[in-house]
Amino acid sequence: MDDLKGDAAMTTNQNADQTTTPATDAGVRQILVIGSGAMGRQIGMAAAVAGFTTTVRDVAAEAVSAAEQDMRTWLDGRVAKGRMDQETADAAWERITFTTDLEPAITTADLVIEAATEKLDVKRSVFAELDRLAPPHAILATNSSTYGSSAVADATGRPEKVCNMHFFNPALVMKAVEVVRHASTSDETVATVEAVARAMGKVPVLLTKEVPGFVANRLMGAVRNEALDLYSQGVASVEDIDEAAKNALGHPMGPFELMDLVGLDVTYLIRQATYELTGDEAEKPHPLLEQKYRAGEFGRKTGKGWYSYGH
C-alpha cells in the first residue's frame, strides 16, 4: 500500500479553505515528514502553512517531484480563488522542502511524522533508523491508521517519545487528528503533539488506550460494513444506500462513494491488516470488497469501483 490512508472519517464535513493559525510555542520548530504520498505531502504542507519549518522526505525522487508539484499547485489554487493571500502562500513555500536526503533534515527535527507504507516491518525499520539519527529530544510519531505506536516504539530507544499522530485524508481538509498513546508514552509527548495539532488548525482527539482502527475509522467502518451487508442481501442498491446516508443521516458522502474516493484497494488492505492484528473473523474484509480488490476495481483512481467514472 502507498502512503494514502483510507480513512472513513472523511465523511465529516470540513472547510478546506480555512487558513491555519501560526505555530504555537509547543517546543517544536522543525518537522520532518517521512513519505511524500497523498498523506505525507499534505501533512507537510499543513505544517508549513501553520508556520513550522518542514521537510517532506521520500526515498523515490519521482515521488518527491510529484509531491512538490502537487503542493505548489494547491497553494496557487488557494491564491487564485482568494482563499489565501500571496504573501501567506509564499511564506509557506519558503518553509517547506521536498527531498530524498534524510540526514540533513533529521538532525535538526523536533518532531518526525512517519507517513510511509502501511506495512509493520517497513515501519519498524523506519523507526529504528529515525531513532538512530534524530536528536534525543525529538518526538517520533506515526500517522498509521492501523497500527498502534506500541508496535514500533520498541524498535527505538525512546518509547516515551513515540505515539500516533493520525491525520485524516485529505489532511489539508480534515480537522481531526487522533493522538494515540501507548503504555510508555509520556504526558509531555502527548501534550506537545496535541499542541502541534492545534497550531496546524486541527482538533486533537486523544485515545488513552490503543485499539485497532482507533475511534473514527471504527465508527465509519461499522457504517461501511452495514452498507455492504444491506447491498449483498439485496435490500437496496448502492445508489439508494448512499442517498440514505446523505439525506437521512446528513453524511456529505455515502459509504460507497467514500470507498471509491479513498480507494477500494486502500480500504481492503487496511481492513486486512486489522484482521491480521486481531485475528477476529469479524474484522475480515467483506467478500464484496475483496471481490472488487481482486478485480482491480479500486474506485475513482481506476475509473471503476462501486460506480463507473469517465477516465
Q: Is 129 tagged catalytic?
A: no
User: Which residue is associated with the grid cell 533508523?
Assistant: 129
- Give the model's pLDDT for residue 119: 86
* Residue 26 confidence (pLDDT): 64
Confidence (pLDDT) at 16: 43
Active site residue 217: yes
Task: Choose the catalytic residue: 149, 217, 257, 283.
Answer: 217
Concatenating the DSSP letter of every residue in 93-132 gives HHHEEEES--HHHHTT-SEEEE---S-HHHHHHHHHHHHH
- Please give the CATH number for the structural domain made up of 8-207: 3.40.50.720
Report which of residues 25 and 105 the model is more confident about.
105
Q: Which residues contact 131 (CB under 8 A, 6 or more apart)?
A: 140, 155, 156, 157, 158
137 annotated active-site: no
- Decide if 225 is catalytic: no
CATH 1.10.1040.10 domain span(s) along the chain = 217-301
pLDDT at 117: 86
Task: Write down the pLDDT at residue 145.
Answer: 85
| pLDDT tens track for 139-171 | 999 999 889 999 999 999 999 999 999 999 889
CATH 3.40.50.720 in the chain is located at: 8-207
Cα–Cα distance, 147 to 257 (Å, whole number): 25
The pLDDT of residue 266 is above 90? no
What is Dmax (Cα atoms) for the chain? 57
Burial 288-297 (b: 16+ CB within 10 A, else e): ebeebbeeeb
Long-range pairs of 151-155 with CB within 8 A, sequence gap ≥ 24: 151/120, 151/123, 151/124, 152/114, 152/120, 152/123, 152/124, 152/126, 152/127, 153/127, 153/182, 153/184, 153/185, 155/124, 155/125, 155/127, 155/128, 155/131
For 65, the enclosing helix (H) or strand (E) is: helix 61-80
Q: Which of the following is catalytic: 144, 166, 182, 257?
A: 166
Q: Which of 178, 194, 257, 283 is catalytic?
A: 178
Cα dihedral: 144, 114, 208, 161 (round 10): 160
pLDDT at 170: 87
- Most confident among 18-27, 88-97, 111-120, 164-173 (mean pLDDT): 88-97
The 8-class DSSP code of residue 295 comes to: T
**Distance between CA atoms of residues 255 and 247, nearest Å:** 13
Collapsed DSSP state (helix, strand, coil) of residue 258: helix
Q: Which of 36, 143, 144, 145 is catalytic?
A: 145
High-pLDDT (> 70) share of the chain, %: 91
- Report, as an integer, the average pLDDT of 222-231: 96
Q: What DSSP designation does 147 have? A: S
Average pLDDT over residues 46-70: 97
**Using CA atoms in the order 277, 281, 283, 288, what is the torsion angle rounded to 10 degrees?**
130
Give the range among 50-59, 237-246, 272-281 with minimum mean pLDDT: 272-281
Strands 203-207, 139-142: parallel, antiparallel or unpaired by DSSP?
A: unpaired
Higher-confidence position of 242 and 218? 242
Taking residues 99-112, report their average pLDDT: 96
> pLDDT by residue (tens digit) across 2-39?
333 444 444 344 444 444 445 555 689 999 999 999 99
Q: What is the mean pLDDT of residues 177-205?
A: 97
> Which CATH code is given to the segment(s) 217-301?
1.10.1040.10
